Structure 1
Amino acid sequence: MSRTVYVNGEFLPEEQAKVSVFDRGFLFADGVYEVTSVLGGKLIDFAGHTKRLDRSLKELGMEMPLTEDELLGIHRHLVEENGIEDGLVYLQITRGAADRDFAYPEAGTPQTVVLFTQAKPGLADSPQAERGIRVITIPDERWGRRDIKTVQLLYPSMGKMMAKAEGADDAWMVEDDCVTEGTSNNAYIVKNGTIVTRHLGTEILHGITRSAVLRFAREAQMKVEERAFTPDEAKEADEAFITSASSFVMPVVQIDEATLGDGTPGPVARRLREIYLEESRKAAV
Protein backbone atom coordinates (compact mmCIF):
# COMPACT_ATOMS: atom_id res chain seq x y z
CA MET A 1 0.00 0.00 0.00
CA SER A 2 1.34 3.41 -1.01
CA ARG A 3 2.11 6.02 1.61
CA THR A 4 0.49 9.42 1.57
CA VAL A 5 3.07 12.20 1.60
CA TYR A 6 2.83 15.98 1.75
CA VAL A 7 4.37 18.16 -0.95
CA ASN A 8 3.82 21.92 -1.12
CA GLY A 9 0.27 22.03 0.16
CA GLU A 10 -0.95 18.70 -1.24
CA PHE A 11 -1.39 15.24 0.24
CA LEU A 12 -0.39 12.79 -2.49
CA PRO A 13 0.35 9.10 -3.03
CA GLU A 14 4.14 8.79 -2.85
CA GLU A 15 4.29 7.71 -6.53
CA GLN A 16 2.81 11.06 -7.56
CA ALA A 17 5.05 13.21 -5.37
CA LYS A 18 7.44 15.38 -7.37
CA VAL A 19 10.11 17.99 -6.55
CA SER A 20 11.79 20.11 -9.22
CA VAL A 21 15.25 19.12 -10.49
CA PHE A 22 16.11 22.78 -9.88
CA ASP A 23 15.26 22.60 -6.20
CA ARG A 24 18.10 24.06 -4.14
CA GLY A 25 17.85 21.21 -1.69
CA PHE A 26 18.89 18.88 -4.51
CA LEU A 27 21.47 21.20 -6.08
CA PHE A 28 23.06 22.78 -2.99
CA ALA A 29 21.73 20.92 0.08
CA ASP A 30 20.12 24.30 0.78
CA GLY A 31 17.50 23.14 3.21
CA VAL A 32 16.77 21.95 6.73
CA TYR A 33 14.89 19.05 8.23
CA GLU A 34 13.39 17.62 11.40
CA VAL A 35 12.41 14.13 12.52
CA THR A 36 9.61 13.63 15.03
CA SER A 37 8.99 10.26 16.65
CA VAL A 38 5.55 8.74 16.92
CA LEU A 39 4.66 6.42 19.80
CA GLY A 40 1.15 5.10 20.23
CA GLY A 41 0.00 7.29 17.35
CA LYS A 42 1.13 10.47 19.11
CA LEU A 43 3.97 12.89 18.37
CA ILE A 44 6.92 13.06 20.77
CA ASP A 45 8.26 16.52 21.70
CA PHE A 46 6.63 18.18 18.68
CA ALA A 47 6.97 21.71 20.08
CA GLY A 48 10.71 21.25 20.60
CA HIS A 49 11.23 20.11 17.02
CA THR A 50 9.19 23.03 15.67
CA LYS A 51 11.21 25.50 17.71
CA ARG A 52 14.51 24.10 16.44
CA LEU A 53 13.15 24.07 12.87
CA ASP A 54 12.40 27.79 13.16
CA ARG A 55 15.91 28.45 14.47
CA SER A 56 17.56 26.46 11.67
CA LEU A 57 15.57 28.35 9.05
CA LYS A 58 16.49 31.72 10.54
CA GLU A 59 20.19 30.79 10.65
CA LEU A 60 19.99 30.21 6.89
CA GLY A 61 17.94 33.34 6.21
CA MET A 62 14.75 31.43 5.36
CA GLU A 63 11.19 32.00 6.43
CA MET A 64 9.00 29.55 8.31
CA PRO A 65 6.41 28.83 5.58
CA LEU A 66 3.76 27.35 7.89
CA THR A 67 2.47 28.07 11.38
CA GLU A 68 3.05 25.61 14.21
CA ASP A 69 -0.65 24.70 14.15
CA GLU A 70 -0.51 24.06 10.41
CA LEU A 71 2.57 21.86 10.82
CA LEU A 72 0.88 19.95 13.63
CA GLY A 73 -2.19 19.40 11.48
CA ILE A 74 -0.07 18.03 8.61
CA HIS A 75 1.85 15.73 10.95
CA ARG A 76 -1.34 14.39 12.50
CA HIS A 77 -2.99 13.89 9.13
CA LEU A 78 -0.04 11.87 7.82
CA VAL A 79 0.13 9.77 10.99
CA GLU A 80 -3.57 8.96 10.75
CA GLU A 81 -3.68 8.52 6.97
CA ASN A 82 -0.70 6.15 6.98
CA GLY A 83 -1.77 4.26 10.10
CA ILE A 84 1.42 5.04 11.99
CA GLU A 85 1.30 3.62 15.50
CA ASP A 86 5.06 3.73 16.08
CA GLY A 87 7.35 5.46 13.63
CA LEU A 88 8.79 8.72 12.38
CA VAL A 89 7.65 11.83 10.54
CA TYR A 90 10.30 13.54 8.40
CA LEU A 91 9.94 17.20 7.45
CA GLN A 92 12.20 18.98 4.95
CA ILE A 93 12.08 22.61 3.90
CA THR A 94 14.33 24.01 1.16
CA ARG A 95 14.86 27.46 -0.30
CA GLY A 96 12.82 26.33 -3.30
CA ALA A 97 13.39 25.88 -7.02
CA ALA A 98 15.26 28.45 -9.10
CA ASP A 99 17.74 28.51 -11.98
CA ARG A 100 21.08 27.18 -10.75
CA ASP A 101 23.12 29.95 -9.17
CA PHE A 102 25.24 30.10 -6.02
CA ALA A 103 23.46 33.33 -5.10
CA TYR A 104 20.12 32.87 -3.37
CA PRO A 105 17.03 33.26 -5.59
CA GLU A 106 14.87 36.35 -5.45
CA ALA A 107 12.87 37.04 -2.30
CA GLY A 108 9.43 35.50 -2.56
CA THR A 109 10.59 32.34 -4.34
CA PRO A 110 8.25 29.61 -3.05
CA GLN A 111 9.94 27.26 -0.62
CA THR A 112 9.66 23.51 -0.97
CA VAL A 113 7.97 21.74 1.94
CA VAL A 114 7.93 17.94 2.06
CA LEU A 115 6.77 15.57 4.81
CA PHE A 116 6.63 11.79 4.84
CA THR A 117 6.29 9.00 7.38
CA GLN A 118 8.16 5.80 8.17
CA ALA A 119 6.44 3.02 10.09
CA LYS A 120 8.69 1.54 12.80
CA PRO A 121 6.65 -1.05 14.73
CA GLY A 122 8.03 -1.55 18.23
CA LEU A 123 10.24 1.55 17.94
CA ALA A 124 10.55 1.87 21.71
CA ASP A 125 11.28 -1.84 22.16
CA SER A 126 14.47 -2.05 20.10
CA PRO A 127 16.56 -5.18 20.80
CA GLN A 128 19.62 -2.90 20.54
CA ALA A 129 18.56 -1.17 23.74
CA GLU A 130 18.82 -4.51 25.53
CA ARG A 131 22.28 -5.41 24.26
CA GLY A 132 23.77 -1.95 23.57
CA ILE A 133 25.59 -0.75 20.48
CA ARG A 134 29.21 -0.59 19.36
CA VAL A 135 30.74 2.63 18.03
CA ILE A 136 34.02 3.51 16.35
CA THR A 137 35.75 6.90 16.38
CA ILE A 138 36.40 8.81 13.16
CA PRO A 139 37.66 12.32 12.33
CA ASP A 140 34.93 14.97 12.25
CA GLU A 141 35.16 16.38 8.72
CA ARG A 142 31.83 18.20 8.51
CA TRP A 143 31.29 21.92 8.03
CA GLY A 144 31.44 24.17 11.09
CA ARG A 145 27.73 24.93 11.62
CA ARG A 146 26.51 21.60 12.93
CA ASP A 147 24.00 23.41 15.15
CA ILE A 148 21.88 24.00 12.03
CA LYS A 149 19.96 20.85 11.13
CA THR A 150 20.63 20.94 7.39
CA VAL A 151 20.02 18.22 4.83
CA GLN A 152 23.75 18.00 3.97
CA LEU A 153 24.27 14.59 5.53
CA LEU A 154 26.85 12.99 3.24
CA TYR A 155 29.68 12.76 5.76
CA PRO A 156 27.47 11.35 8.55
CA SER A 157 26.26 8.80 6.01
CA MET A 158 29.87 7.96 5.18
CA GLY A 159 30.53 7.62 8.91
CA LYS A 160 27.70 5.09 9.25
CA MET A 161 29.27 3.07 6.44
CA MET A 162 32.72 3.27 8.04
CA ALA A 163 31.19 1.81 11.19
CA LYS A 164 29.36 -0.88 9.24
CA ALA A 165 32.61 -1.86 7.49
CA GLU A 166 34.15 -2.50 10.91
CA GLY A 167 31.18 -4.47 12.18
CA ALA A 168 30.04 -1.63 14.45
CA ASP A 169 26.71 0.19 14.72
CA ASP A 170 27.70 3.84 14.57
CA ALA A 171 30.60 6.29 14.69
CA TRP A 172 31.51 9.03 17.13
CA MET A 173 33.21 11.97 15.44
CA VAL A 174 36.36 13.50 16.91
CA GLU A 175 37.73 17.01 16.48
CA ASP A 176 40.72 18.50 18.31
CA ASP A 177 40.98 15.23 20.25
CA CYS A 178 37.46 15.58 21.66
CA VAL A 179 34.27 13.77 20.76
CA THR A 180 31.72 16.04 19.11
CA GLU A 181 28.75 13.73 18.52
CA GLY A 182 27.56 10.61 16.74
CA THR A 183 26.62 10.56 13.08
CA SER A 184 22.97 11.20 13.91
CA ASN A 185 22.90 11.51 17.67
CA ASN A 186 24.42 13.18 20.73
CA ALA A 187 27.10 11.31 22.69
CA TYR A 188 27.43 10.76 26.47
CA ILE A 189 29.66 8.97 28.92
CA VAL A 190 29.11 8.12 32.58
CA LYS A 191 31.92 8.07 35.15
CA ASN A 192 31.45 7.59 38.88
CA GLY A 193 27.74 8.32 38.46
CA THR A 194 28.27 11.62 36.58
CA ILE A 195 26.78 12.04 33.11
CA VAL A 196 29.12 13.92 30.76
CA THR A 197 28.08 15.29 27.37
CA ARG A 198 29.51 17.97 25.15
CA HIS A 199 28.38 21.54 25.82
CA LEU A 200 26.20 23.32 23.28
CA GLY A 201 27.89 25.31 20.54
CA THR A 202 28.24 25.34 16.77
CA GLU A 203 30.16 22.05 16.92
CA ILE A 204 27.11 19.86 17.65
CA LEU A 205 23.41 19.68 16.96
CA HIS A 206 21.29 21.01 19.79
CA GLY A 207 19.38 17.77 20.23
CA ILE A 208 15.74 17.93 21.27
CA THR A 209 16.03 14.52 22.90
CA ARG A 210 19.31 15.68 24.50
CA SER A 211 17.54 18.61 26.11
CA ALA A 212 14.74 16.45 27.49
CA VAL A 213 17.07 13.71 28.75
CA LEU A 214 19.31 16.17 30.59
CA ARG A 215 16.26 17.79 32.19
CA PHE A 216 14.96 14.42 33.32
CA ALA A 217 18.40 13.44 34.62
CA ARG A 218 18.65 16.56 36.76
CA GLU A 219 15.10 16.07 38.03
CA ALA A 220 16.13 12.56 39.08
CA GLN A 221 19.03 14.08 41.06
CA MET A 222 21.65 12.73 38.65
CA LYS A 223 24.84 14.78 38.28
CA VAL A 224 25.40 16.23 34.81
CA GLU A 225 28.49 17.91 33.35
CA GLU A 226 28.26 19.63 29.95
CA ARG A 227 31.82 19.67 28.65
CA ALA A 228 34.04 18.12 26.01
CA PHE A 229 35.55 14.69 26.61
CA THR A 230 38.26 12.77 24.78
CA PRO A 231 38.01 9.37 23.16
CA ASP A 232 40.45 8.02 25.77
CA GLU A 233 38.24 9.32 28.57
CA ALA A 234 35.25 7.70 26.91
CA LYS A 235 37.00 4.34 26.66
CA GLU A 236 37.69 4.43 30.40
CA ALA A 237 34.11 5.39 31.30
CA ASP A 238 31.80 3.17 33.33
CA GLU A 239 29.15 3.36 30.64
CA ALA A 240 28.09 5.43 27.63
CA PHE A 241 25.00 6.13 25.56
CA ILE A 242 23.57 8.19 22.72
CA THR A 243 20.30 10.09 22.34
CA SER A 244 18.24 10.96 19.28
CA ALA A 245 14.61 11.25 18.22
CA SER A 246 14.69 7.79 16.66
CA SER A 247 16.78 5.89 19.24
CA PHE A 248 15.67 7.78 22.39
CA VAL A 249 18.37 6.73 24.91
CA MET A 250 20.56 3.98 23.47
CA PRO A 251 23.34 2.36 25.55
CA VAL A 252 26.85 2.09 24.10
CA VAL A 253 28.85 -0.94 25.26
CA GLN A 254 31.98 -0.68 23.12
CA ILE A 255 34.06 2.20 21.72
CA ASP A 256 36.63 1.10 19.15
CA GLU A 257 38.22 -1.95 20.80
CA ALA A 258 37.42 -0.90 24.37
CA THR A 259 34.56 -2.68 26.15
CA LEU A 260 32.78 -0.56 28.73
CA GLY A 261 32.03 -2.13 32.10
CA ASP A 262 30.97 -5.72 31.71
CA GLY A 263 29.89 -5.17 28.11
CA THR A 264 26.19 -4.76 28.86
CA PRO A 265 24.03 -1.61 29.09
CA GLY A 266 24.74 0.33 32.27
CA PRO A 267 22.23 1.33 34.96
CA VAL A 268 22.26 5.07 34.19
CA ALA A 269 21.47 4.60 30.51
CA ARG A 270 18.80 2.01 31.26
CA ARG A 271 17.12 4.23 33.84
CA LEU A 272 17.23 7.33 31.63
CA ARG A 273 15.64 5.39 28.78
CA GLU A 274 12.81 4.31 31.08
CA ILE A 275 12.26 7.86 32.35
CA TYR A 276 12.45 9.43 28.91
CA LEU A 277 9.93 7.04 27.35
CA GLU A 278 7.54 7.31 30.29
CA GLU A 279 7.61 11.10 30.47
CA SER A 280 7.57 11.62 26.69
CA ARG A 281 4.54 9.42 26.25
CA LYS A 282 2.71 11.45 28.91
CA ALA A 283 3.42 14.70 27.07
CA ALA A 284 2.91 13.40 23.52
CA VAL A 285 0.43 15.14 21.22
Structure 2
Amino acid sequence: MTPYVADPVYLNGQFLPLAEAGVSPLDRGFLYGDGVYEVIPVYSRQAFRIDEHLKRLQATLDGIKLANPLTVDAWKSVIFKLIESAPWEDQSIYLQVTRGADDKRDHAFPPSSVTPTAFAFASPLVTTPAEVRAKGVAAITVPDLRWSRCDLKVISLLANVLARQQAVEQGCAEALLIRDGFMKEGAASNIFIVKDGVLLAPPKTQLMLPGITYDVVLELAQSHGQPLEIREISETELRSADEVWMTSSTKEILAITCLDGQAVGNGEHAGKPGPFGEQMWQWYQDFKNSVMRKG
Protein backbone atom coordinates (compact mmCIF):
# COMPACT_ATOMS: atom_id res chain seq x y z
CA MET A 1 0.00 0.00 0.00
CA THR A 2 1.10 3.57 -0.71
CA PRO A 3 -0.18 6.54 1.33
CA TYR A 4 -2.61 7.18 -1.54
CA VAL A 5 -3.72 3.71 -2.69
CA ALA A 6 -4.95 0.95 -0.41
CA ASP A 7 -4.25 -2.75 -0.83
CA PRO A 8 -5.84 -4.71 -2.26
CA VAL A 9 -6.68 -3.19 -5.61
CA TYR A 10 -9.02 -4.86 -8.09
CA LEU A 11 -7.79 -5.95 -11.51
CA ASN A 12 -9.65 -8.20 -13.93
CA GLY A 13 -11.51 -10.31 -11.39
CA GLN A 14 -8.79 -10.42 -8.74
CA PHE A 15 -8.04 -8.52 -5.55
CA LEU A 16 -4.28 -8.23 -5.10
CA PRO A 17 -1.59 -5.89 -3.76
CA LEU A 18 -0.90 -2.85 -5.92
CA ALA A 19 2.72 -3.97 -6.33
CA GLU A 20 1.53 -7.17 -8.00
CA ALA A 21 -1.00 -5.56 -10.35
CA GLY A 22 0.05 -5.10 -13.95
CA VAL A 23 -1.36 -4.78 -17.46
CA SER A 24 0.06 -5.45 -20.91
CA PRO A 25 1.99 -2.61 -22.55
CA LEU A 26 -0.29 -3.28 -25.53
CA ASP A 27 -3.34 -2.32 -23.49
CA ARG A 28 -5.30 0.27 -25.47
CA GLY A 29 -5.59 2.46 -22.40
CA PHE A 30 -1.79 2.76 -22.45
CA LEU A 31 -1.45 3.08 -26.24
CA TYR A 32 -4.45 5.30 -27.04
CA GLY A 33 -6.09 6.49 -23.83
CA ASP A 34 -8.93 4.26 -25.03
CA GLY A 35 -10.96 3.86 -21.87
CA VAL A 36 -13.23 5.42 -19.28
CA TYR A 37 -13.12 6.12 -15.56
CA GLU A 38 -15.35 7.01 -12.64
CA VAL A 39 -14.68 8.37 -9.15
CA ILE A 40 -17.05 7.67 -6.26
CA PRO A 41 -16.76 9.58 -2.97
CA VAL A 42 -17.21 7.58 0.22
CA TYR A 43 -18.23 9.13 3.54
CA SER A 44 -18.05 7.10 6.76
CA ARG A 45 -17.60 4.03 4.51
CA GLN A 46 -20.85 4.79 2.65
CA ALA A 47 -20.54 5.17 -1.13
CA PHE A 48 -22.39 8.35 -2.13
CA ARG A 49 -24.91 7.96 -4.96
CA ILE A 50 -23.30 4.78 -6.19
CA ASP A 51 -26.15 4.12 -8.62
CA GLU A 52 -25.72 7.54 -10.25
CA HIS A 53 -21.97 7.02 -10.61
CA LEU A 54 -22.40 3.59 -12.16
CA LYS A 55 -25.04 5.01 -14.49
CA ARG A 56 -22.57 7.68 -15.60
CA LEU A 57 -19.92 4.99 -16.07
CA GLN A 58 -22.31 3.05 -18.30
CA ALA A 59 -23.21 6.17 -20.29
CA THR A 60 -19.53 6.84 -20.99
CA LEU A 61 -18.93 3.22 -21.97
CA ASP A 62 -21.88 3.44 -24.34
CA GLY A 63 -20.48 6.70 -25.69
CA ILE A 64 -17.22 5.04 -26.77
CA LYS A 65 -18.88 1.75 -27.78
CA LEU A 66 -17.18 -0.34 -25.10
CA ALA A 67 -19.00 -3.23 -23.44
CA ASN A 68 -19.16 -3.06 -19.66
CA PRO A 69 -17.12 -5.99 -18.30
CA LEU A 70 -19.15 -6.12 -15.07
CA THR A 71 -22.79 -5.94 -14.12
CA VAL A 72 -24.01 -3.25 -11.75
CA ASP A 73 -24.16 -5.77 -8.91
CA ALA A 74 -20.65 -7.00 -9.70
CA TRP A 75 -19.30 -3.44 -9.65
CA LYS A 76 -21.01 -2.83 -6.33
CA SER A 77 -19.42 -5.99 -4.91
CA VAL A 78 -15.98 -4.75 -6.00
CA ILE A 79 -16.61 -1.28 -4.58
CA PHE A 80 -17.87 -2.56 -1.24
CA LYS A 81 -14.86 -4.88 -0.93
CA LEU A 82 -12.45 -2.00 -1.59
CA ILE A 83 -14.23 0.23 0.93
CA GLU A 84 -14.19 -2.50 3.57
CA SER A 85 -10.48 -3.22 3.06
CA ALA A 86 -9.23 0.38 3.04
CA PRO A 87 -8.07 2.00 6.31
CA TRP A 88 -9.86 5.32 5.80
CA GLU A 89 -13.40 6.24 6.82
CA ASP A 90 -13.72 8.79 3.98
CA GLN A 91 -12.47 7.48 0.67
CA SER A 92 -12.40 7.97 -3.07
CA ILE A 93 -13.06 4.88 -5.18
CA TYR A 94 -11.51 4.98 -8.65
CA LEU A 95 -12.87 2.75 -11.43
CA GLN A 96 -11.31 2.36 -14.87
CA VAL A 97 -12.19 0.28 -17.92
CA THR A 98 -10.10 0.14 -21.09
CA ARG A 99 -10.66 -1.71 -24.35
CA GLY A 100 -8.01 -4.24 -23.36
CA ALA A 101 -4.84 -5.53 -25.01
CA ASP A 102 -4.76 -6.87 -28.55
CA ASP A 103 -1.68 -8.59 -30.03
CA LYS A 104 -0.88 -5.52 -32.15
CA ARG A 105 -1.31 -1.75 -32.32
CA ASP A 106 -4.20 -0.80 -34.63
CA HIS A 107 -6.53 2.19 -34.35
CA ALA A 108 -9.60 0.11 -35.20
CA PHE A 109 -11.33 -1.71 -32.35
CA PRO A 110 -9.84 -5.13 -31.55
CA PRO A 111 -11.95 -8.26 -32.09
CA SER A 112 -14.64 -9.05 -29.54
CA SER A 113 -12.43 -11.83 -28.17
CA VAL A 114 -10.20 -9.16 -26.57
CA THR A 115 -11.35 -8.71 -22.98
CA PRO A 116 -11.65 -5.20 -21.53
CA THR A 117 -9.33 -4.31 -18.66
CA ALA A 118 -11.15 -3.45 -15.41
CA PHE A 119 -9.22 -1.77 -12.62
CA ALA A 120 -10.31 -0.20 -9.32
CA PHE A 121 -8.75 1.06 -6.10
CA ALA A 122 -9.49 3.04 -2.94
CA SER A 123 -7.66 6.17 -1.84
CA PRO A 124 -8.24 8.67 0.98
CA LEU A 125 -10.77 11.44 0.34
CA VAL A 126 -8.95 14.62 1.32
CA THR A 127 -10.88 17.89 1.27
CA THR A 128 -9.63 21.49 1.24
CA PRO A 129 -7.88 22.59 4.47
CA ALA A 130 -9.80 25.19 6.46
CA GLU A 131 -7.05 27.81 6.12
CA VAL A 132 -7.16 27.52 2.30
CA ARG A 133 -10.94 27.63 2.18
CA ALA A 134 -10.96 30.74 4.39
CA LYS A 135 -8.88 32.68 1.84
CA GLY A 136 -10.06 31.10 -1.38
CA VAL A 137 -7.78 30.20 -4.27
CA ALA A 138 -6.46 31.72 -7.48
CA ALA A 139 -7.32 30.51 -10.97
CA ILE A 140 -6.54 31.36 -14.58
CA THR A 141 -8.57 31.21 -17.77
CA VAL A 142 -7.36 29.26 -20.79
CA PRO A 143 -8.83 28.43 -24.21
CA ASP A 144 -10.80 25.18 -24.18
CA LEU A 145 -8.88 23.08 -26.70
CA ARG A 146 -10.54 19.75 -25.86
CA TRP A 147 -12.63 17.60 -28.20
CA SER A 148 -16.41 18.06 -28.41
CA ARG A 149 -17.48 15.12 -26.21
CA CYS A 150 -16.42 16.54 -22.86
CA ASP A 151 -19.52 14.94 -21.29
CA LEU A 152 -17.83 11.54 -21.57
CA LYS A 153 -15.62 10.65 -18.59
CA VAL A 154 -12.75 9.22 -20.63
CA ILE A 155 -9.18 8.64 -19.49
CA SER A 156 -7.64 10.62 -22.39
CA LEU A 157 -7.32 13.81 -20.32
CA LEU A 158 -4.18 15.37 -21.78
CA ALA A 159 -5.86 18.69 -22.61
CA ASN A 160 -7.14 18.93 -19.03
CA VAL A 161 -3.72 17.95 -17.68
CA LEU A 162 -1.97 20.66 -19.70
CA ALA A 163 -4.50 23.30 -18.62
CA ARG A 164 -4.18 22.34 -14.97
CA GLN A 165 -0.38 22.30 -15.23
CA GLN A 166 -0.44 25.80 -16.71
CA ALA A 167 -2.40 26.90 -13.63
CA VAL A 168 0.02 25.18 -11.26
CA GLU A 169 3.02 26.81 -12.95
CA GLN A 170 1.40 30.19 -12.26
CA GLY A 171 0.76 29.33 -8.61
CA CYS A 172 -2.96 28.78 -9.17
CA ALA A 173 -5.35 26.03 -8.15
CA GLU A 174 -7.40 25.69 -11.32
CA ALA A 175 -7.74 26.61 -15.00
CA LEU A 176 -11.16 27.73 -16.22
CA LEU A 177 -11.89 26.65 -19.78
CA ILE A 178 -13.28 29.22 -22.23
CA ARG A 179 -14.82 28.14 -25.53
CA ASP A 180 -16.36 30.52 -28.07
CA GLY A 181 -16.66 33.23 -25.45
CA PHE A 182 -18.33 31.06 -22.80
CA MET A 183 -16.99 29.47 -19.62
CA LYS A 184 -17.58 25.71 -19.61
CA GLU A 185 -15.88 24.26 -16.50
CA GLY A 186 -12.55 23.88 -14.77
CA ALA A 187 -9.82 21.46 -15.84
CA ALA A 188 -10.82 19.22 -12.91
CA SER A 189 -13.94 20.87 -11.47
CA ASN A 190 -17.29 22.43 -12.25
CA ILE A 191 -17.61 26.22 -11.97
CA PHE A 192 -20.46 28.36 -10.64
CA ILE A 193 -20.73 32.14 -10.40
CA VAL A 194 -22.91 34.50 -8.37
CA LYS A 195 -24.11 37.80 -9.80
CA ASP A 196 -26.52 40.15 -8.02
CA GLY A 197 -27.61 37.39 -5.65
CA VAL A 198 -28.36 34.88 -8.41
CA LEU A 199 -26.41 31.62 -8.70
CA LEU A 200 -25.50 30.89 -12.33
CA ALA A 201 -24.57 27.40 -13.53
CA PRO A 202 -23.57 26.32 -17.04
CA PRO A 203 -25.99 23.79 -18.56
CA LYS A 204 -25.25 20.11 -19.10
CA THR A 205 -24.12 19.83 -22.69
CA GLN A 206 -21.56 17.79 -24.61
CA LEU A 207 -19.02 20.51 -23.81
CA MET A 208 -18.81 19.89 -20.06
CA LEU A 209 -18.64 16.97 -17.66
CA PRO A 210 -21.45 17.37 -15.11
CA GLY A 211 -20.21 16.27 -11.72
CA ILE A 212 -22.23 14.66 -8.98
CA THR A 213 -21.26 17.60 -6.73
CA TYR A 214 -22.64 19.91 -9.44
CA ASP A 215 -25.98 18.13 -9.07
CA VAL A 216 -25.87 18.42 -5.27
CA VAL A 217 -25.22 22.18 -5.45
CA LEU A 218 -28.20 22.66 -7.77
CA GLU A 219 -30.41 20.57 -5.48
CA LEU A 220 -29.32 22.52 -2.40
CA ALA A 221 -29.91 25.85 -4.13
CA GLN A 222 -33.41 24.81 -5.15
CA SER A 223 -34.34 23.31 -1.78
CA HIS A 224 -33.17 26.43 0.11
CA GLY A 225 -34.75 28.95 -2.23
CA GLN A 226 -31.49 30.29 -3.62
CA PRO A 227 -32.25 32.16 -6.89
CA LEU A 228 -30.74 30.06 -9.68
CA GLU A 229 -30.30 30.21 -13.43
CA ILE A 230 -28.92 27.34 -15.50
CA ARG A 231 -27.62 28.84 -18.72
CA GLU A 232 -24.45 29.60 -20.62
CA ILE A 233 -22.08 31.94 -18.78
CA SER A 234 -20.14 34.39 -20.91
CA GLU A 235 -16.51 35.22 -20.26
CA THR A 236 -17.62 38.80 -19.56
CA GLU A 237 -20.06 37.59 -16.89
CA LEU A 238 -17.36 35.42 -15.38
CA ARG A 239 -14.97 38.35 -15.07
CA SER A 240 -17.60 40.64 -13.56
CA ALA A 241 -19.03 38.04 -11.13
CA ASP A 242 -19.53 38.82 -7.46
CA GLU A 243 -18.41 35.29 -6.58
CA VAL A 244 -16.83 32.38 -8.46
CA TRP A 245 -16.79 28.84 -7.05
CA MET A 246 -15.13 25.61 -8.06
CA THR A 247 -16.84 22.38 -7.01
CA SER A 248 -15.89 18.70 -6.87
CA SER A 249 -16.05 15.86 -4.37
CA THR A 250 -12.67 16.88 -2.93
CA LYS A 251 -12.93 20.68 -3.32
CA GLU A 252 -16.61 20.64 -2.21
CA ILE A 253 -17.47 24.36 -2.57
CA LEU A 254 -14.27 26.41 -2.84
CA ALA A 255 -14.17 30.12 -3.61
CA ILE A 256 -12.00 31.39 -6.44
CA THR A 257 -10.98 34.81 -5.14
CA CYS A 258 -8.43 35.76 -7.78
CA LEU A 259 -8.87 35.23 -11.52
CA ASP A 260 -6.06 35.96 -13.97
CA GLY A 261 -4.40 38.11 -11.32
CA GLN A 262 -7.50 40.20 -10.61
CA ALA A 263 -9.57 40.07 -7.42
CA VAL A 264 -13.00 38.48 -7.84
CA GLY A 265 -15.93 40.59 -6.63
CA ASN A 266 -16.33 44.16 -5.50
CA GLY A 267 -16.47 46.17 -2.31
CA GLU A 268 -15.80 44.54 1.04
CA HIS A 269 -15.86 41.01 -0.43
CA ALA A 270 -13.40 41.70 -3.26
CA GLY A 271 -10.71 39.05 -3.25
CA LYS A 272 -12.41 37.17 -0.41
CA PRO A 273 -14.86 34.25 -0.21
CA GLY A 274 -18.36 35.70 -0.53
CA PRO A 275 -21.47 35.16 1.60
CA PHE A 276 -23.34 33.03 -0.93
CA GLY A 277 -20.46 30.59 -1.23
CA GLU A 278 -20.11 30.43 2.54
CA GLN A 279 -23.82 29.66 2.84
CA MET A 280 -23.66 26.97 0.16
CA TRP A 281 -20.62 25.41 1.88
CA GLN A 282 -22.59 25.19 5.13
CA TRP A 283 -25.61 23.69 3.38
CA TYR A 284 -23.23 21.18 1.78
CA GLN A 285 -21.71 20.22 5.14
CA ASP A 286 -25.17 19.75 6.65
CA PHE A 287 -26.16 17.59 3.69
CA LYS A 288 -22.94 15.59 3.93
CA ASN A 289 -23.47 14.83 7.60
CA SER A 290 -27.18 14.11 7.39
CA VAL A 291 -27.35 12.31 4.01
CA MET A 292 -23.96 11.44 2.48
CA ARG A 293 -22.66 9.70 5.59
CA LYS A 294 -25.74 7.47 5.59
CA GLY A 295 -25.29 6.15 2.07
TM (normalized to structure 2)? 0.91
SS of alignment partner, residue 143 of structure 1: coil
Partner of 2:283: 275
Partner of 2:108: 103
Residues 95-154 of structure 1: per-residue CA shift (max 9 Å, x gap): 111121111011242111101122245x36554322211110001111110000000111
List alignment gaps of at least 5 residues for structure 2. none
Check whether the contact 2:125–2:250 (CA below 8 A) recurs between aligned residues: no
Check whether the contact 1:235–1:259 (CA below 8 A) recurs between aligned residues: no
Residues 1:264 and 2:272 aligned together = yes
Q: Match for 2:146: what amino acid? A: R
Q: Match for 1:278: what amino acid? A: D
Identity among equivalent positions (%) equals 33
Residues 231-278 of structure 1: per-residue CA shift (max 9 Å, x gap): 332121111101112222222111112212322211222222222233
Identify which of 200, 203, 207 aligns with 1:203: 207
Residues 1:92 and 2:100 aligned together = no
Moved over 3 A (4+): 124-127
C-alpha RMSD of the superposition: 1.7
Q: Match for 2:244: what amino acid? A: A
Q: Match for 1:173: what amino acid? A: L
In structure 1, distance between residues paired with 2:137 and 2:206: 26
Q: Match for 2:114: what amino acid? A: T
TM (normalized to structure 1)? 0.94
In structure 2, distance between residues paired with 1:189 and 1:148: 24
Q: For 1:75-224, list aligned pairs within 5 A.
A: 75-98=79-102, 99-120=104-125, 123=127, 126-224=130-228
In structure 1, distance between residues paired with 2:30 and 2:222: 41
Number of equivalences? 284
Check whether the contact 1:38–1:84 (CA below 8 A) recurs between aligned residues: no
List alignment gaps of at least 5 residues for structure 1. none
Q: Match for 2:109: what amino acid? A: Y
In structure 1, distance between residues paired with 2:21 and 2:79: 17
Check whether the contact 1:88–1:120 (CA below 8 A) recurs between aligned residues: yes
Residues 210-244 of structure 1: per-residue CA shift (max 9 Å, x gap): 11210111111112111222233212111110111
